[in-house]
Each structure stands twice: as structure tokens, then as C-alpha cells.
Amino acid sequence: MNCPGCAEAATSVSLDSRLGTRIVIDYCTACQTFWFDDLESPRLAPSSTLQLFQIIGDCATRPRPSPPTVLRCPRCHAGLLETHDRQRLTTFQYWRCDAGDGRLISFYNFLREKNFVRALTQEEWRALSDHLQTVQCPSCGAPIDLAHDSTCSHCGASLSLFDVPQAQQLIAELKRAAAPRPVAESLPLDLERAKQESEAAMSSSAPAPEHAAPGQWWIGASASGLTATGFGALAQLLKRP
């Protein structure tokens, strides 16, 4: 298929689903977007989610593209509708086909959907504004004047931070889920315990990145954006055994 954003040929990758079948995901590294046909995203197996994260990590050094102004469904060619959604405490957006053919989501919003990226707190914004004057919007790339704003005046996105400790935890969980192993008799209890621990972690404030001292979480941040270096960190996390 052609990318709904730039109309160039998208790359297709065949992945495992949770049902043991294969599904095909299309992505564009130029626009940094994934196209999911209807209901494909929730059916991704843990190993497949890790593969998509690796694709994002491999694009860490590429410039962030400006979002296209007109998006059309690659299946029916109707205009895609901008849609805002929420996963637990994190908001994200995508563009969906009203006929139900699928949805287009940026790499950045895919990470938000999977809880790898979180919004800055007011305290973190004030600390960042003492360190930098402007940063690029994590969603559209427009400059954000930190002296006055914590959200993008162009697209409305909030300043966000790639949450390294959270990423480490989620990747470890995905790797354990992706590894083949015999089913233990305690699996139902283990799943319920993991669910409760995950919900407790998601509802609490996320910790600062592990490489920063307390009060200095912004060390390493630059005007190119707070999530840019996080993409590189994601790639490194995935390469660890």
C-alpha cells in the first residue's frame, strides 16, 4: 500500500497475532507512522509489539516529519478523521477511517498508547524552562516557548517525556510474555497479581529517568525535544538480553 501521509510505498511486515495467525502491518519511516487495519493493533502478540518498538528505535536519529494536512484511507480513499483517545492516564491521537478500514498512528502516539511516554508535571515544566528556552513539540515538531507554555499552540499536544524506567519494565514484561514456556498451574493467580501491580504502577507518578540525579531529570534534554533521545534509549533497551 501507499503511505496515507506522503503517498510513497509503505513497508509491510508480517507479524504474529495473539491468536497464532499472521497479520501484516504497514509502516512509513519517512512519515514515522503505522497503518493498522481494523482491530489489528489489539491482536499483536508481545513479540510483534517488540518488533514495532525496534522499528521506532531504529528511526531515532531521523528528523521528525511535519504531519501532512490531508490524510486519506489507503483502502477506500476517504478522508481520515482525527481521533483522540486515552489509555489509562495517557492521552494519544490517531487518524481513523470512518468506514472501519483501519487507522493511522504516528510512532510517537503509538508509544503514548503503550505507556512509554508521559506528560510532564508542572514541577518538571518549571525545571525545564530554567534549562531551555524552547523545545520542539513531540507531536508536530513546532517550537514551544517554555517561558509561557507547557502545551503546543499549533496542535495542542502536551510536553512529554520518554519514561525510561517505565520502558524498561514494560519491555521486560513483553520479553517474558514473548518467550515460549510451559503453562504453569499458578498462571491465573500470577496474571491477576501482575494486573494489580501494573495498575498500581500506572496510577502512581512515574519516576525520573535513571541517568539523572534527583531534581535533574532534564539533563540531556535539548531543543530537539524530550522524546528524541528516548527513541534511542528504546533501541538500546531492546538490544539488551
The answer as to whether 47 is a domain residue is yes
Average pLDDT over residues 156-174: 70
**Domains in the chain: how many in total?**
1
What is the structure's pLDDT at 51? Answer: 87
pTM (predicted TM-score): 0.66
The answer as to whether 2 is a domain residue is no
The answer as to whether 144 is a domain residue is no
DSSP-assigned beta bridge partners for residue 105: 34
The answer as to whether 194 is a domain residue is no
Collect all residues with Cβ–Cβ distance below 8 Å to 40 and sequence separation of at least 6. 17, 23, 25, 102
What digits encode the pLDDT tens for the residues 22-59?
Answer: 999 999 998 889 999 988 888 888 888 888 988 887 77
Beta strands at 81-87 and 33-37: parallel, antiparallel or unpaired? unpaired
What digits encode the pLDDT tens for the residues 69-105?
Answer: 789 999 999 999 999 998 777 788 899 999 999 999 9
> What per-residue string of b and e applies to 25-52 under the rule 16 or more CB within 10 Å gives b?
bbbbbebbbbbbbeebbeebbbebbbbb
The answer as to whether 77 is a domain residue is yes
The answer as to whether 129 is a domain residue is no
Residue 94, phi-psi category: left (phi > 0), alpha (psi -120 to 50), beta (remainder): beta
The domain of 87 spans 11-118+229-239
Q: For the chain, what is the radius of gyration of the CA atoms?
A: 18
DSSP-assigned beta bridge partners for residue 55: none
* Residue 196 to residues 28, 58, 201, 203, Cα–Cα distance (Å): 36, 33, 9, 11
Which residue shows C-alpha cell 517488540?
50
Average pLDDT over residues 168-195: 63
The answer as to whether 210 is a domain residue is no
